[in-house]
Amino acid sequence: MDENIKKQELDFLYDEDLLPVLEKLGFKEDFLAGKLKCAICGDVITNENLYSFFNDKEIKVSCNKETCKNKAQKNGE
């Protein structure tokens, strides 16, 4: 995986790349501790419900609920 995280759109993320990406973004410890939450609804982010990283004045995370996906897409534009 590229060590330089740049603003780009990702269609998918391999499982083995998730923790390095979370670490680069400063989310790894909270994710592993079950404390990383969806910026929109507040649900805990897991491997199963992680949908996206988006920029809303800072990098945030959203879950895969339809309402959260839609809001994350609008905020990330």
Which of 49, 56, 58, 55 lies closest to 18 in space, CA to CA? Answer: 49
Confirm whether 9 is domain-assigned: no
Q: What is the pTM for the complete model shown?
A: 0.78
Q: How many domains does the chain have?
A: 1
- Give the Å distances, CA to CA, from 8 to 1, 43, 52, 77: 14, 25, 12, 12
Residue 26 in any domain: the answer is yes
Domain extent at residue 23: 15-75
Residue 48 within any structural domain of the chain: yes
pLDDT of 7: 47
- What end-to-end distance do the CA atoms of the chain give, in Å? 25
CA–CA distance, 44 with 36 (Å, rounded to integer) = 6
- At 22-31, the pLDDT tens digits run 999 999 999 9
Residue 56 is predicted with a pLDDT of 84
Rounded CA-CA distance 32/75 in Å is 26
Residue 23 placed within a domain: yes
Give per-residue pLDDT as tens, 35-69. Answer: 999 999 999 999 999 999 888 889 999 999 999 99
pLDDT, residue 73, reads 85
Query: Token pair of 22, please?
Result: 């979370």
- 55 domain residue, yes or no: yes
